[in-house]
Chains A and B, each alone.
Chain A
Amino acid sequence: MDIRKRRYALVIDSRKCINCKACVVACKAENRVPIGDFRNWINEERQGEYPKLRIDFEPEQCHHCEHPSCVRVCPTGASWQRKDGIVLVYADDCIGCRYCMIACPYDARYFDEESSTVGKCTLCSHRVDKGGIPACVETCPSKVRVFGDLDDPTSRIHELLATRRYHVKEPQTGNGPQLYYLV
């Protein structure tokens, strides 16, 4: 199918997350993310005091925004967005100015000291292009993440967003984030 007719996104059902961090490990192994850097992570939010308390886990990564501010500010065009929505860094053009890291409202990028360029979640585009799914999605034991094409009406992600309530993080930035959190 034509790449231009796809729009990849992730739906996240945070309530299923048990903070096992298998997604984080899978991502690091799959993408050889340097020690100390992360392409995905899990936010923890505590509420109340023992014994009356609750803790919420919320996986997060690059939101692959509709209007990514990181792409807009990049002076060389190294940060770019594919037609299917995936936001990538073309390392050969990255000069390491870190403007994109500052411009990302989700702090989803890191500076790779080894290559002196900026790294980020690629939504495992190398797997997706072969018809696969991102490593974090595949490995999740409690099926928190659902990956799919928003423009495919038969996809699970399409169905979830049509039938469940959801929110996105920091919509006021105008970036149009594409990580959908089910309520």
Chain B
Amino acid sequence: MHEFNWGLLIVIYLFLGGLSAGLFFAAGLANYLEVDGQPAYPRIARMGALLAPWPVAFGSALLILDLGTMHRFYKLFLHFRWESPMSIGTWLLTLFTALAFVYCYAWLPEDWRQKLFSRLPTTWKLIHHLNVDLSAYRKTFAMIGFPLSIGVGIYTGVLLGAVSARPFWNTNLVAQMFLFSALSSGTAALLLALVLDRRNPVEQRDLKFLVWLDVIFISLELFIILPYLIHGSLSVLAVKQALWLILGGPYTLVFWVFFLGFGLLVPLGIEVYELAPSLLKGKAFHGDRNLALAASALVLFGGFLLRYIFVYAGQLSSFHRMGMLR
């Protein structure tokens, strides 16, 4: 391939789609967890619900902008082709975005909702019928949204992984890698929002929950990336050649130093360092605001780089002899 058919807009979209999936999942989870019959993390649940729909909505707009003929994007909705990951993804993304907005609405504080509707002309009666309290259905929406958010998280990987002509993508590990990266990015975004929201003091319990969750997701991501590298290195020539792109080729530095180092291991180190005293020595968790800020920003940076590396390096890989390995 002489040029990149998919560029930065696709990278940003894949990142934002995953981010929303992660935000929704983490917030939904927080919504379900209870301590003594009381919601354990109401602030996280609300924050995530309010944030979740926006990245994916913005990302989808970018996706349409990237089309050669964007005025024809509606044709995506006139067809359903189960063999095409993009077709399935279109529907999945639409359903997820719609549900994320409904969920966001269900979490809207009463006064915000009233303020929103008071700005609309009173003659729009149909719209004013929508001014209802959906807070009783939050759990139902979250439950419907879990599989959709997981689906969107996986789909961003399947979109690439299903392309048999590109050995860099075409392994059964890319989908999971993107999913765990998405969940980790969403969790990190919540962490970032939590510490940046200066109006309310950061509760240690909220912080601990998010740090915990992120450690789990980053670890899962690592457990996918290592076999990806090992299996690829031991695979057939086409895959080996493809992997050379990050093992000596043009994307080596950005993969090892910036993504794996700064985007994954450093934040994991920070988060484990924060958690360790409370886990090993039974001390009370005392998270540092600045460390949480650094870790979450780095995780988001890493999540973006993962998409960047995969979109670009994947397009360079092919079954042709690439002149790197003989």
Given A96-B69, A105-B164; 19 other pairs, CB 8 A cutoff: A73-B162, A76-B78, A76-B87, A94-B68, A94-B69, A95-B73, A95-B76, A97-B68, A99-B84, A101-B5, A102-B166, A102-B315, A104-B165, A107-B1, A116-B68, A116-B69, A117-B68, A117-B69, A174-B164
Nearest CB of A to B244, in Å: 18
Which A residues from 67 to 81 make CB contacts under 8 A with B?
69, 72-78
Count A-B contacts at CB 8 Å. Answer: 92
> Does A142 make an interface contact (CB < 8 A)?
no
> Does B75 make an interface contact (CB < 8 A)?
yes
Nearest CB of A to B109, in Å: 39
Q: Write out, one digit per residue, whether chain B residues 1-17 have a CB within 8 A of any chain A CB (1) or not (0).
A: 11001100000000000
Nearest CB of B to A60, in Å: 11
Contact A96 B67 (CB under 8 A): yes
What's the interface size class on A, roughly?
20 to 34
Which B residues from 68 to 94 make CB contacts under 8 A with A?
68-70, 72-73, 75-76, 78-79, 81, 83-87, 90
- Closest Cβ neighbor of B159 among chain A residues: A99
Tell which of A75, A94, A107, A172 touches B84, judged by Cβ atoms closer than 8 Å: A75
> Does B318 make an interface contact (CB < 8 A)?
yes
- Closest Cβ neighbor of B166 among chain A residues: A102
Bound together, the chains give a CA A96 to CA B64 distance in angstroms of: 10
Q: Write out, one digit per residue, whether chain A residues 140-173 have a CB within 8 A of any chain B CB (1) or not (0).
A: 0000000000000000000000000000001011
Chain B residues at the A interface, C-beta cutoff of 8 Å: 1-2, 5-6, 66-70, 72-73, 75-76, 78-79, 81, 83-87, 90, 162-166, 238, 315, 318-320
Nearest CB of B to A108, in Å: 11
> Does A111 make an interface contact (CB < 8 A)?
yes
Given the interface pairs A97-B67, A172-B319, the reply to whether A103 lies near B83 with Cβ below 8 Å is: no
Tell which of A95, A96, A105, A111 touches B319, judged by Cβ atoms closer than 8 Å: A105
Find chain A residues with CB under 8 A from B162 CB: 73
Nearest CB of B to A173, in Å: 6
Tell which of B5, B85, B164 touches A111, judged by Cβ atoms closer than 8 Å: B5
Tell which of B68, B76, B238, B320 touches A75, judged by Cβ atoms closer than 8 Å: B76
- List 17 contacting pairs A-B, 8 Å CB cutoff, sorted by A: A69-B163, A74-B84, A75-B87, A76-B81, A96-B67, A96-B69, A96-B72, A99-B86, A102-B1, A102-B6, A102-B163, A103-B165, A105-B165, A107-B1, A117-B68, A172-B238, A172-B319
